[in-house]
Structure 1
Amino acid sequence: MSGMKVIKPTTITAAMLTSSTVAEPAAGEVAWNAATAYAAGAVVIRTSTHMKYERAIAGATATAPESDPTNWLPAGPTNRWAMFDRKIGTDTTAATTITVVLRPGGISGLGMLELVGRQADITLKDAPGGTTVYSRTVNLDGTIITSVYDWFFLDFEQLSDFVLTDLPQHYASCELTVTVTSTTPVSVGVLQVGQVMTAGRAAMGATAGIIDYSKKEKDRFGNFDVIEGAFSKRCNLQVLTPAADFNKIFRAFAALRAIPCIYIGVDQVGFEPLIIYGFYKDFSMVVAYPLYHLCNLEIEGLSQ
C-alpha cells in the first residue's frame, strides 16, 4: 500500500474567510432581534458567532442568545459556516454552486467530505490576487467504468470524499479558492485544510468498517423494530515507520489525541473508506526491526 498520512487541521476563523457565495443569513435564516417576542421553538442566527439558536421559552429578551442559555439553546452552525465547524452531519448547501475564498496561511493538505456535486475546483495563489501556483479539478463522479456497458448504463455515483496532499506549503500569505458545482443542489459537509504529516507506509491487511448506532429491538414475536440512527467509520491500520523517526512520530500522534483530523490510510481513488475524519482510539508503536518500527492505529470517525 501507499503512504499513510494525516491532515492536521487549521481552524478557519472569520478573518480567514475572505468571501463566500453563501449568504449569512442564508435563505430561511433569520437574524436575532432583541425587540422581537419569539415563540418557543423559533430559530434565529447570530452572525457574530455564526451559530443558530432555538428559543426554549416564549418571549423577548435583550440579552444575546449566546449569553442567554436559559432562553436560547445552541442549534448548530449557520449555513455558511457549517462546512467549517469540524463536525460530521452539518453541511453548507446552495442551489448549484458554492465558492469560498480563504487566507489560511501555509497549508499542504486539503480534505473535502460529505460532498454532493459534480466537480470541485481548487486554486491556490501565492498571495491575495497574486499568481496561481497550484490548480486542481476533481471530478466528483466516482463511478468505476470497466466496460462499454458500464459507460452507457451505470448510474452516477457520488464521490463524497477526497483529499489533496500536495499543496505548496511555503506560501504563508496564500489565497485559496474552492468551488463545488453541479446542475442540481450542492453541499459540502467538511472543508478542512492544514499541514500534512506522513507517518510511514501502510502495510497490507488494513480493515475498514462502520459502527452503527441504529436501534434494533425484537418484540415478543421475534420481529425486529428498527430505528435508523447515525454511524461512524472505523479503520485499523498497521504502518511501517522509519526507526529514525520513532520519537518524532510518537510525539506527533500524542499531540493529536484530542484533535479531529483527516486520517488517510491510502491516498488513492477507490479507497475512500480509508479516509476517516475523527480520532484514533488506540495508538501504539512496536519496536520490531532495526530500520523500521510498526505503528498500530485504531481510528474512529465522527458520527454521521
Structure 2
Amino acid sequence: MKIIKRSDIVIISSNLTDDTPTYNKDNTYKKDDVIQNNHVRYKSLLDNNQESLDKEAYWENLGATNDYAAFDFFLNTQSQKEEKIEIVLSAKENNALYLANLWGERIKVEVIEIKSARVLEDKEWLLFGEEITDWREYFFGDWQERRRKDVYFERSTLGRDAAYRITLFASNDTAKIGHIVCSKARELGISLYKNSLSAIDFSKIETDEQGNTSLTKGNYKKTNSFDVAIPNNQLDFCVNAFIELRGEPCVFVITQAYKSLINYAILKKWEVLLEKRNMAIASLELEGLV
C-alpha cells in the first residue's frame, strides 16, 4: 500500500480563470451580489450589505473560485474551461500525482524540467472509450457510460527540478478537474488480497402524508476495508504513521491494479494484530471524501 499526503502546490502556469469581482470592504452590496476574496466566492444575502465576510447572516459561502476549485479540500467542486485545461505545477516532494473527478475526452501528464521545459516522461489516458475492443462494442456497447474519473501517476525520473504539465482535452465540451494532489508516495506495508469496498450514499428518499415518494440523487463516499502485512522491522514506523494520519485526507493506493482500490480518503479506523512470527497484520478502514 502507498499513501500520498496533501502538500502545498506551486502553480507555475494555468489557463483557468475566474471573473468574479473582488470584494471591497468599502463597497455596499445588494442581495444576490456575488464577489470573491482569497479564492472563495460569497453571495450577499441582504440589500445594503456592508458587513464583513465572516458574518454568516449576511454572506453565503459559495466555495472556491473557478481557478482554485481543483486545489481546494473537496472532490465535488470542479475547475472548468471550454475545450482544454492546461496547468503546470510542482510541489516540494512530487514523485506522485492524483487527479480526481475528471470530465473530458483524454488527459495527458508530462514531467518537465522547470528551467528548460524539456519533457522527461509523459503518459496519456482516455477518459472514456478505453475499453472498446471491437466494432460491435463501439456501435452497440454502453462504453459512453463508462467514464474514467480518476488518474494516478508516479514518475520514474529522479530529480527535484521537475514539474507536471497537465492537459485535459474536451473537444466541443467543457473540461473539468475536481481535485489535484501532488506529493511523495510512501510505502506503508503490503496490501493483502482480502479487501472489501462499498459506498455511502447521500441520496434522499422522502415520502409525504399521502404516500407520494420523491428521490433526490446525492453525492457518495467510497469506503474500503482491507488488511496490510507489516514486517516486524517496520512495525513502529507504520504504527506511528497511522497515528499521524488521523483526520488527514490522503490518497490511499491499495493497489494500482484496479481504479476502485485508489481512494482519496481519511483513515477512519485501524488495528494491528501481532499474530504472525515475522510480521504483523493491520486492518484498515477508509472513508472517502466527497
Shift of residue 205 of structure 1?
2.7
Tell me, yes or no, if structure 1 residue 176 matches structure 2 residue 176: no
Shift of 1:193: 0.7
1:181-227 deviations in Å (ceiling 9; x for gaps): 12121100011111111223322231111111222244566654433
1:18 match? 12
Which among 146, 154, 164 is matched to residue 165 of structure 1? 154
* Shift in alpha-carbon separation, 1:31–1:299, aligned structure 2, 3 A: same
Q: CA RMSD in A?
A: 2.3
Matches within 5 A, 1:141-156: 141=128, 143-145=130-132, 148-154=135-141, 155-156=143-144
Counterpart for residue 272 of structure 2: 285
Q: Distance in 2 between matches of 1:20 and 1:286?
A: 47
SS in 2 for 1:37: coil
More strand, by proportion: 2
SS in 2 for 1:178: strand
Secondary structure class of the residue paired with 1:203:
strand
- Pair 1:142–1:210, CA change in 2 (3 A): farther
Give the C-alpha shift of residue 176 in structure 1.
Answer: 1.9
CA distance in 2, matches of 1:144, 1:71: 50
The structure 1 residue matched to 2:6, chosen from 5, 9, 26, is: 9
Within the alignment, does 1:40 sit opposite 2:20 as a pair? no
**Structure 2: runs of 5+ lacking an equivalent:** none
Task: Specify the alignment match of 1:203 in structure 2.
Answer: 192
In the TM superposition, residue 122 of structure 1 has moved relative to its aligned partner by 1.2
* 2:151 partner amino acid: F
Distance 1:45 1:217 in 2: 35
Q: Secondary structure at the match of 1:244?
A: helix
Q: Deviations over 1:148-175 (max 9, x none)?
A: 522443232311012113454x533322
Q: Distance in 2 between matches of 1:153 and 1:285?
A: 49
Once residues 216 and 127 of structure 1 are traced to their aligned partners in structure 2, the CA distance between those partners, rounded to angstroms, is 51
% identical aligned pairs? 22
Cα separation, partners in 2 of 1:147 and 1:125, compared to 1, 3 Å: closer
The size of the alignment, in residue pairs, is: 287
How far did residue 246 of structure 1 move? 0.7
Q: What does the per-residue CA deviation read over 1:98-125, in whole Å, with 9 as the maximum and x for residues that have no partner?
A: 0111132231111111100111111122
Q: Secondary structure at the match of 1:245?
A: helix
Unaligned runs of 5+ in 1: none
Q: Determine helix, strand or coil for the equivalent of 2:91.
A: coil
